[in-house]
Amino acid sequence: MNATIKDIALECCVSTATVSLALAGKKGRVSAETTTRILETAARLQYTPNRAAVSLATHHTKLVGVLMSDLRNTHIAQLFMAIEEVLQSHGYTLICHVLDDKTADIGRISSELNGSGVEGILYAHPIFLDPDESFYRIREFLNNAGVPIICNEDVGLTCAGMDVIFDFYQAGYLATRHLIECGHQVIGCVSGPANYRVSEQRLRGYRDALEEGSIAYDPKLVYYGDYSTAGAEPALSYLLGQKTTAIFSFNDEMAFALYRSAHQYGLSIPQDISVIGCDNVPFCNVLEVPLSTVHVPAEEMGREMAESLITAIEESHNKSRTQHIYAPALILRGSVNRRYADNATKLGKY
């Protein structure tokens, strides 16, 4: 049988009210010595608070809904782990739904989140350039949920909460400009799905950097993947066929596919082909040739999303909506070669 507050009170020879105050962390209401004794006894008895009872007493469920895309994506996984760490440390429990691009049952999800009494919702899912009906249903649900909503993109909400956003346009611009500054003129890119807003933002940055460098944009130099390593497997052979000397990969996972393909073809990075990624995920700096990339502070963004949600829940009188946009930073390692002469390479073989 689970230990109760009464059991702890009997062990410590104090009232149940004193135990409740100590467990709730009400500083100044219970002496430090008594609080320590109560906490040690609670741990020894393996006391676990009854969530339903706590909810009735405090009017707080300590439940948070999380709507996210595929957690196999390294960037999303980093974001989620940072969110979970902060929320768990504050006693919150996550109710997580992974949204499929096409088949998310919004009616069931909204019913479950409403029925469970979540105190806030975190939304981290790609936005399509041409959203379908399900997106508008999600947005309507979020706007009318009556709880703070924290998003990792500008979903167009007006409810209380915050948008924690990364400037992917500037990331695309900085990566491409760096390749141009290193003397590359035929620059390919490995994009994510064309209908994702974040793909379009990176592509605009790529195109604007080319234009600024007086290099014509060529759509044949764009290979469309899906932000996964497997989806980018054919990218290198295709772009080598277009005579590219450098490639901007829209995320690091697809850049890893370029590395693997280069090894299979007997090519060297960066001597034969230069590569720059985006995200700065783990393992970038432990490759045989460390990957130059654009740093996306996923963990920092995840922590801010969680902390801002907690603040919004605890300051329920604040109904404002704010926005924080993170700027990119280039992380230069060894995967980009300076090309100021028409160096002979093996590219013609493929």
Q: Are residues 342 and 253 in the same domain?
A: yes
Q: Are residues 185 and 234 in the same domain?
A: yes
Nearest in space to 329 (alpha carbons), one of 283, 286, 291, 280: 280
Q: Are residues 192 and 287 in the same domain?
A: yes
Q: Are residues 29 and 103 in the same domain?
A: no
Q: Are residues 22 and 151 in the same domain?
A: no
What does the pLDDT read at residue 50? Answer: 59
Q: Are residues 97 and 126 in the same domain?
A: yes
Examine residue 57 and state whether it is found in any structural domain, yes or no: no
What does the pLDDT read at residue 26? Answer: 64
The range of the structural domain enclosing residue 282 comes to: 168-296+331-349
Examine residue 88 and state whether it is found in any structural domain, yes or no: yes
Q: Are residues 287 and 303 in the same domain?
A: no
Nearest in space to 70 (alpha carbons), one of 113, 108, 109, 102: 102
Q: Are residues 260 and 313 in the same domain?
A: no
Residue 123 and residue 149 in contact, taking contact as beta carbons nearer than 8 Å: yes
Q: Are residues 237 and 335 in the same domain?
A: yes
Residue-wise pLDDT tens digits, 21-33: 887 666 667 888 8
CATH code of the domain covering residue 259: 3.40.50.2300
User: Which residues in the chain come in under a pLDDT of 50?
Assistant: 52, 55-56, 58, 341-350
Q: Are residues 77 and 45 in the same domain?
A: no
Examine residue 55 and state whether it is found in any structural domain, yes or no: no
Q: Are residues 108 and 9 in the same domain?
A: no
Examine residue 56 and state whether it is found in any structural domain, yes or no: no
Q: Are residues 201 and 265 in the same domain?
A: yes
Examine residue 95 and state whether it is found in any structural domain, yes or no: yes
Number of structural domains (the chain) is 3
